[in-house]
Amino acid sequence: MSDFSPGQRWISDGEAELGLGTVLNCDARSVTILFSASQETRTYNTRQAPLTRVMFGSGDRVLSADGWQMVVDDSKESRGLITYIGEDSEGNLRELPEAKLADTMQFDQARDRLLTGQVDRNDWFDLRFRTLHHYQRIEQHSALGFSGPRIDLIPHQLYIANEVANRHAPRVLLADEVGLGKTIEAGLILHRLLLNGRVERALILVPDSLTHQWLVELLRRFSLNVSLLDETQSQAHGSANPFESAQLVLASQGWLFANTQRQEQALASQFDLLIVDEAHHLDWSEEGSGPGYRCVEQLSAVIPGLLLLTATPEQMGIKSHFARLRLLDSERYHDLERFKTEESHYTEVARAIDALDALPGDPAARADVSNVADDRDSQALLATLCNKEASRDQQDAARAQLSEALLDRHGTGRVMFRNSRRHVGGFPERRLHLVPLALPSAYRRVVRRLERDEDYLDELLIETGMDHPDVLIYPDAAYRELSNDPLNGEDWWHIDPRINWLLEKLSDDSEWFRQRESPGHCPPPGNRRRACRRAAGARRLPRPGVP
C-alpha cells in the first residue's frame, strides 16, 4: 500500500491524459485525487490504486503553475511533500513546492514514464509476458484455425484445408462430390487465413438460393460475422461503396452479375480472397463469355486469392472445365487445344504416379515413370529412388518429390482437389429406393390417345418440339403441353400423385402457416414460402373425386 498525503502529486497509469493529480484527502481504505487540468475527481482503493507518484530528479525540467520553468538541482521532503530546488530560465535559484507544479504536465512518452517511475508492478509484467508466450505458441501450432470451428474431424476436409491455407495466395478449385463438404473446406480455409493474417477482407459469391445457408453456416460453425449485401443494403449506403462496409461480404451471384455499377465498386474494394460457389454455372466459350464469367474474371484479376467450388467440374464439357482453370491461372491455362492434348495423357501420368509405390523393385514400373518424367531433375530423382544402395529415407524423399513434380508439371494437381464417395470413407452410402406410383387416369388417357392416333402424335411433336421418347416416357410433360385440350381440364398438380403428400400436408393451410410463423419458429425462405402458399391455394381447388 502506498502512503498518500494531501497535496502530493500523482498521475493515473491508465489515463495519463488527465494530467497531474492532487491528493485531496485519504484514509485507510480510499484516496481522492483531483485532476484540475481535466476537471475530474476520482476516488481509488488505496491497496490497488493505478497511480504513480510524481517525483523529479536532478536535471529534470519542470513547469510551475505560474508558467515559469526551472531545472531541478536538488529536492527536500517535509511531511510527505516534496519541494524542488533549482535555477529558473533567468539563472535565479528558486524553490518550487510540488503542490505548485503545473496541472497540465503529462507523461505519455515512454521515456517520461520510465524516468518518473510510472511503471507496472512485476506481477503484471510477468502476466503479460506469459500471455504473449501463450499467443506465440498458439499461432505457431499446426492446428491454428482448425480447432475452433464446430465441425466433425473428417480427414479429407482437414487435409485440403491445410494444404490450401498454407499457400500465400491460394487459387484452387474445390471439386468434391455432393455432400463431401466443400462449404466446410472453404470455411476452414477462410478461417485459417483470417487468423494467420494472410487475408483480411473476403468476398463470397453464391447462388441466390444459398445466401442464407452460407450466412448461417459461417456464423454457426466458424463464428464469422458476414455482411449479406443486396441492392437494398447498397442503396442504404448512399454514394459510399457498399463493399467497403464490412471485412467479409456475402452477395448473391444473380444480383452482382447483373449490375455493372456494383461490379465496379467490388473491383475497387481491394479484397484479399474471392470465393465463388456453384462455379460450373459460369458460362464461357472461345467466342465469348457470359456476364457471370466476365465478372468473376475481372475480380480474379485483381484479387490475389480465389476459391472456386463445384461438385461437377466437367458436367458442361471440357471447355467449361478449362474455363474455370483459366480463372485460377491464366498463364498456365491459356490455350484450349493444348489443354485437350495434355488431358489425353493424364492416364499415363496417373499410371506413373501409381507405379512409384512399386519402385525400386519393379522394372516395368520404372519404365512407366520414365516415360512421363522426361526432364533432368525428375530423372535424377528416379535414379535415387531406384538405387538399391540409397537409404530408405532417401528413397521415400525421392518418391515424394517425384510425385509432386509429376503433379506440378502434368495435369491440374496443384489447383484442383476432388474427392469421391468411392475413395472417402465415413459417409453414409447412397442407395436408390424406388417407390412405384400408379399412373393417374388422365395421364393414361393421354398415352393411349398418342399410341392410337399417330397423326395426333406427329402434330404434338411438331407443335411442342418435344422428342418422341419424351412424350411416352414423361406423360406429365405431354399432359401439360395439351393443356388446351378440352378433355384435360384439370391442372397437372391436381392429379399428379408425386405432390399429393404436399397437398395433404397443406389441407389446413391457414393453421399450418399460423403454427410455423409463431414466435420462436424460423419461417421458410421467401421462395419456398411462396411455393407453399401456391400449393396451398391449389389445395382449395376442386380435385377429381373430391366433393
Q: How far apart are CA 21 and CA 34, in angstroms?
A: 5
CB 282 within 8 A of CB 324: yes
> How many other CB atoms are there within 10 angstroms of residue 390's CB atom?
16
pLDDT of residue 259: 93
Contacts of 79 (CB under 8 A, 6+ apart): 5
CB 170 within 8 A of CB 162: no
> How many other CB atoms are there within 10 angstroms of residue 448's CB atom?
10
Burial 112-130 (b: 16+ CB within 10 A, else e): ebeebebeeeeeeeeeeee
Torsion of CA 62, 65, 68, 74, to 10 degrees: -40
Q: Dump pLDDT digits (tens) for 328-374.
A: 888 877 777 787 777 766 777 777 877 887 787 777 887 878 777 76
Single out the residue of 116, 58, 70, 61 nearest to residue 95, CA to CA: 70
The set of cell numbers assigned to 116 is 518518473
Phi (first) and psi of residue 88, to 5 degrees: -85, -175
The set of cell numbers assigned to 286 is 472461345
Beta strands in 298-368 (DSSP E): 305-309
Instruction: Please give the single-letter amino acid code of residue 186.
Output: A
Dihedral-angle region of residue 117 (phi above 0 means left; psi in -120 to 50 means alpha; beta otherwise): left
Torsion of CA 368, 373, 376, 381, to 10 degrees: -70
Q: Dump pLDDT digits (tens) for 452-489.
A: 777 766 776 666 666 656 666 667 777 776 666 656 66
CB 398 within 8 A of CB 359: no
Q: What angle do CA 274, 420, 205 make, to 5 degrees?
A: 20
Q: How far apart are CA 22 and CA 53, in angstroms?
A: 10
Q: How far apart are CA 524 and CA 516, in angstroms?
A: 9
pLDDT of residue 539: 43
Q: Which domains are present in the chain?
A: 8-116 (2.30.30.930), 155-334 (3.40.50.10810), 342-424 (no CATH), 441-499 (no CATH)
CB 54 within 8 A of CB 11: yes
Strand partners, 86: 72, 94
The set of cell numbers assigned to 309 is 467450388
Spell out, as residue ranges, where the chain has pLDDT lower than 50: 1, 510, 519-547
Single out the residue of 387, 381, 415 nearest to residue 372, CA to CA: 381
pLDDT of residue 507: 59
The set of cell numbers assigned to 382 is 528416379
Contacts of 153 (CB under 8 A, 6+ apart): none
pLDDT of residue 250: 96
Whether this prediction's pTM lies above 0.75 is answered by no
Instruction: Please give the single-letter amino acid code of residue 230.
Output: D
